[in-house]
Amino acid sequence: MLSTMQDVPLLISRILAHGSSIHGTSLVTTWTGEGEPARRSYAEIGARSAQLAHALREDLGVEGDDRVATLMWNNAEHVEAYFAIPSMGAVLHTLNLRLPAEQLIWIANHAADRVVIVNGSLLPLLAPLLPHLTSVEHVVVSGPGDRSLLGGASARVHEYEELLAGKPTAYEWPELDERSAAAMCYTSGTTGDPKGVVYSHRSIYLHSMQVNLTQSMGLTDQDTSLVVVPQFHVNAWGLPHATFMTGVSMLMPDRFLQPVPLAQMIEQERPTHAAAVPTIWQGLLAELGAHSRDVSSLGQVTIGGAACPPSLMEAFDKLGMRVCHAWGMTETSPLGTVARPPAHAVGTEEEFTYRTTQGRFPAGVEARLTGPGGERLPWDGESAGELEVRGPWIAGAYYGGEGAEVLRPADKFSEDGWLKTGDVGTISADGYLTLTDRAKDVIKSGGEWISSVELENALMAHPDVSEAAVVAVPDDRWGERPLATVVLKEGSTADFTALRSFLAEEGGIAKWQLPERWTVIESVPKTSVGKFDKKVLRRQYAEGELDITRL
């Protein structure tokens, strides 16, 4: 029997229409560094998205599933691009502005981007790449910046505001197939080459609803979200789409991502929610320690993208900013798990432990653990294996390139179509995921696994340690052993012996897991999205660039 329900495609244009009418007075506020921030209502964003779509179609000839790339910070214009491009049927491709030049060129050519919308402040980055971007015909520049850098470019250069001026403020958005491509994002390549993930209208729509659930971020139109996570990092974790569904206002930091302006923004604009990777919050914490600021508005902070050290969570809790830990990947849109404690644990000692896990799977994400021999492992909180997931907002393949089939590499997708996450961990009987490592970062010592993340968390709980990264290094006897690289706080007197004892006594680390190789570094190298870049540390060790002490 067929259902009797209407079949209305789940389209981004519907999210836009809803946000810009029902929540027309909600705001996107963009930080400008000096003077008043720029404020634009959702109604204005709706009108300007229509104008942008007209410009792309009528002036630039964007048609069908042409790729329109953005090389932009988080700001109102980037939100307009987020809605205009997919709603008209084209494909939004967010370029990660922190990637090395060769990777950016490779990615833009692989996606066959026809247009790049760029912030003026990023022209020094784009200009030298442009001659190598073989498919780009148009560059649209938004905001202040030196246009003369584009002199000699073969692509046509346009001004964002000039293109929009005078265009109609409504657009007849096409009734697309909800399964068609809406946006694409390449993985940031922390552990390998970038791979293109293509989100559909449907996957983004369903993911946005999930982000909005109380069990996830649970925000309402009374909230303002400080969206620090870049719009080029997995669609800013789905926030721009989710906020347009619920009318949550957005505070966008543009290029002002350093701890001082972030602290100023929070004090002045009083957001109630914020989202970013742990390294951003470590920086803010240090700033708040040095200069007191009123951050009391910030009730909830979503931390994900890398394991949130419990010490960071505790420090934030003390400042009244409650951390909610979440796990995800480019391939999972990204929301995969959220660490909201179960009802029975609230108010008990267990609550914090639950909050430090990666969290529970929402309806819509199915999970299983696979052991080294391909066997299914039980959800007992002890059996560790590779996490595999499936669901309507989980990738089932990678983009193969113009005219090519999609790619389903066997190390990323199981034969029955599940995504192999490359993350290793356990799942408790009540469905909480605890990641112990990335498969590629696990330290395999004498046939046993040591979790680099567990060692890092224990080290970062030491009052003298500001950051710590642990990587596997080759060892004649054990195969691999952990190398601890630590960043000490200014004026710290801790020595390695003391840190090692701390790990054993306070951190509860088993004796055989304690690192014997130690080094102090100035800062942990970071990837393009602010995660610890362990590839660099392993290389530095291999090339003898680190000054190692053996205990």
Question: Contact with ligand ADP (CB under 6 A): which of 94, 302, 358, 426?
Answer: 358
Q: Which two tokens stand for residue 329?
A: 């990947």
**Calculated CA dihedral for residues 75, 77, 82, 88, nearest 10 degrees:** 170
Which residues, numbered 217-236, are part of the site for ligand ADP (CB under 6 A)?
234
Does the protein bind ligand ADP through residue 304 (CB under 6 A)? yes
Looking at residue 210, its amino acid is Q
On the 0-12 / 13-18 / 19+ scale of CB atoms within 10 A, 537 is: buried
Q: How many residues bind ligand ADP (CB under 6 A)?
A: 23
Shortest separation between residue 425's beta carbon and ligand ADP, angstroms: 9
With a CB cutoff of 8 Å and minimum separation 6, the contacts of 93 are 67, 68, 69, 70, 108, 111, 113, 183, 184, 185
Does the protein bind ligand ADP through residue 187 (CB under 6 A)? yes
| Residue in the block written with tokens 């206002």 | 249
Does the protein bind ligand ADP through residue 355 (CB under 6 A)? no
Which residues, numbered 318-337, are part of the site for ligand ADP (CB under 6 A)?
325-330
> Which CB, 229 or 284, lies closer to ligand ADP?
229
On the 0-12 / 13-18 / 19+ scale of CB atoms within 10 A, 257 is: middle
Which residues, numbered 517-546, are part of the site for ligand ADP (CB under 6 A)?
529, 531
d(CA 53, CA 88): 6
Does the protein bind ligand ADP through residue 237 (CB under 6 A)? no
Question: Contact with ligand ADP (CB under 6 A): which of 50, 104, 130, 306?
Answer: 306
Question: Which residues are paired to 197 by β-bridges?
Answer: 185
Shortest separation between residue 330's beta carbon and ligand ADP, angstroms: 4
Shortest separation between residue 413's beta carbon and ligand ADP, angstroms: 14
Shortest separation between residue 540's beta carbon and ligand ADP, angstroms: 19
Q: Which two tokens stand for residue 459?
A: 């080290």
> Which CB, 31 or 237, lies closer to ligand ADP?
237
d(CA 348, CA 2): 48
Active site residues per annotation: 187, 331, 444, 449
Over the window 447 to 466, marking each residue x when it contacts ligand ADP by CB under 6 A and - when it does not, the resulting string is --------------------
> Which CB, 31 or 281, lies closer to ligand ADP?
281
Question: Contact with ligand ADP (CB under 6 A): which of 13, 26, 190, 466?
Answer: 190
> Which CB, 147 or 535, lies closer to ligand ADP?
535
Q: What is the 3-state secondary structure (H, E, C) of 92-134?
A: EEECCCCCCHHHHHHHHHHHCEEEEEEEHHHHHHHHHHHHHCC
Question: Contact with ligand ADP (CB under 6 A): which of 75, 87, 188, 434?
Answer: 188
Cis? peptide before 174, omega within 30° of 0: no
Question: Which residues are paired to 479 by β-bridges?
Answer: 445, 475
What's 254's DSSP letter? Answer: B
Shortest separation between residue 281's beta carbon and ligand ADP, angstroms: 13
Which residues, numbered 405-434, are part of the site for ligand ADP (CB under 6 A)?
421-423
> Which CB, 232 or 379, lies closer to ligand ADP?
232
Q: Indicate left, alpha or beta for 292 from its phi (over 0: left) and psi (-120 to 50: alpha).
A: beta
Tell me the window of 46-54, 87-95, 301-309, 374-382 that interacts with ligand ADP (CB under 6 A).
301-309
What's 148's DSSP letter? Answer: G
Judged by the rule CB under 6 A, the positions of this chain that interact with ligand ADP are 187-190, 234, 304-307, 325-330, 358, 421-423, 435, 438, 529, 531
